[in-house]
């Protein structure tokens, strides 16, 4: 049974299993936090070049987040100690920033979640490092299309399964694997809230989408099999078959006639190449 809970500015919000329905104040808060996430991802683009370390990129995220009066929600989250997740090539998600340098031909995902005035703006994009091969670029393109097709299905009256189905159908048409083990999530006052957003499914199944719902869509798509494993560091998720993986993420809110994307790029850097 799916429980929905109406949230106004005065309410304390906890991860209690209910799907939250936010009001105009919530949408205004998410608009600001989401815009900051997008500006951070915009600003990273010129810095993603061969030779840069992922720790250096993480420092840029940390600096911009704090300058804007926000805090990286990942810092101290379940023991995580960085301001972003940076996932290279076969890393599916939750890659830990380090002294590792990017090399020509890599594809990377940077995932940021500034917490601004109590609102979580959660978004990630892919970046191409130098000259990237055609297979990897195609994976990145199709993954972006999967996200946007999922967003197209995000409107009142539809169900979560419609979003998952749209993503799965497009990925599998291209013979890619859709990751099942990690999904999107309710977001807003809480970083990871109900409902779970599964990036596969059957039309008409799962919770009904209602105005006021705020959640992420963040498909992880593999050139190979969908299976992932988590490395001994407890975070880094990689494809079991070591095939390349890509991901894009937006935070969105369901409106009366569709949805609002809170994390759209103000600079128009929606998908690479960004220059
Ligand atoms: N931003 C990630 C997401 O999209 C979560 C990262 S949690 C961390 O949900 F602890 F790994 F940073
Ligand atoms: Co997320
Ligand atoms: Co994220």
Nearest-atom number in ligand 1 for the CA of 235 is 11
Per-residue DSSP letters for 162-200? Answer: HHHHHHHHHHHHTTPEEP-SS-EEE-SSSSSEEEEE-S-
Residue 74 Cβ < 6 Å to ligand 1: yes
Is-cis flag, bond preceding 176, omega within 30? no
Q: Answer yes or no: is 156 within a domain.
A: yes
Atom 11 (ligand 1) nearest CA = 94
- Would 274 be classed as within a structural domain? no
56-76 residue pLDDT tens: 999 999 999 999 999 999 999
Neighbours of 25 (CB within 10 A): 13
Which CATH number does the domain housing residue 234 bear? 3.90.230.10
Q: How many helices (H) and strands (E) does the chain have?
A: 4, 19
Along the chain (275 residues), what's the average pLDDT of each consecutive run of 10 residues? 93 97 98 99 98 99 98 98 99 98 99 98 99 98 99 98 98 98 98 98 98 99 98 98 99 99 98 97
Q: Any residues with CB less than 8 A from the CB of 29 and at least 6 apart, and which?
A: 116, 117, 118, 119, 188
Is position 266 within any domain?
Answer: no
From the CA of 111, give the closest atom in ligand 1. 1
Minimum-distance ligand 1 atom for the alpha carbon of 84: 12
User: How many separate domains does the chain show?
Assistant: 1
């Amino acid at each position: 049974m799916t429980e929905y809970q109406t949230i106004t500015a005065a309410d304390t919000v906890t991860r209690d299993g209910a799907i939250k329905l936010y009001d105009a104040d919530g949408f205004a808060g998410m608009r600001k936090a989401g815009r900051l996430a997008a500006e951070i991802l915009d600003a990273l683009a010129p810095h993603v070049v061969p030779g840069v370390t992922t720790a250096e990129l993480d420092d840029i995220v940390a600096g911009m987040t704090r300058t804007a009066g926000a805090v990286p929600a990942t810092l101290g989250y379940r023991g995580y100690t960085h301001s972003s997740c940076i996932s290279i090539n076969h890393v599916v998600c939750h890659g830990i920033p380090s002294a590792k340098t990017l090399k020509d031909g890599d594809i990377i995902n940077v995932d940021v979640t500034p917490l601004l005035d109590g609102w979580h703006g959660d978004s990630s994009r892919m970046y191409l490092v130098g000259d990237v091969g055609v297979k990897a670029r195609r994976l990145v393109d199709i993954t972006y299309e999967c996200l946007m097709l999922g967003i197209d299905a995000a409107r009142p009256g539809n169900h979560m399964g419609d979003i998952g189905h749209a993503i799965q159908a497009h990925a599998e048409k291209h013979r890619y694997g859709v990751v099942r083990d990690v999904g999107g999530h309710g977001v807003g006052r809480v970083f990871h809230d109900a409902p779970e957003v599964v990036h596969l499914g059957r039309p008409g199944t799962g919770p009904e989408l209602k105005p006021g719902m705020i959640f992420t869509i963040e498909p992880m798509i593999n050139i190979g099999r969908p299976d992932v494993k988590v490395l001994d560091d407890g975070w880094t998720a990689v494809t079991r078959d070591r095939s390349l993986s890509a991901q894009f993420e937006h935070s969105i809110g369901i409106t009366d006639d569709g949805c609002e994307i809170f994390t759209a790029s103000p600079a128009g850097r929606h998908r690479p190449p960004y220059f």
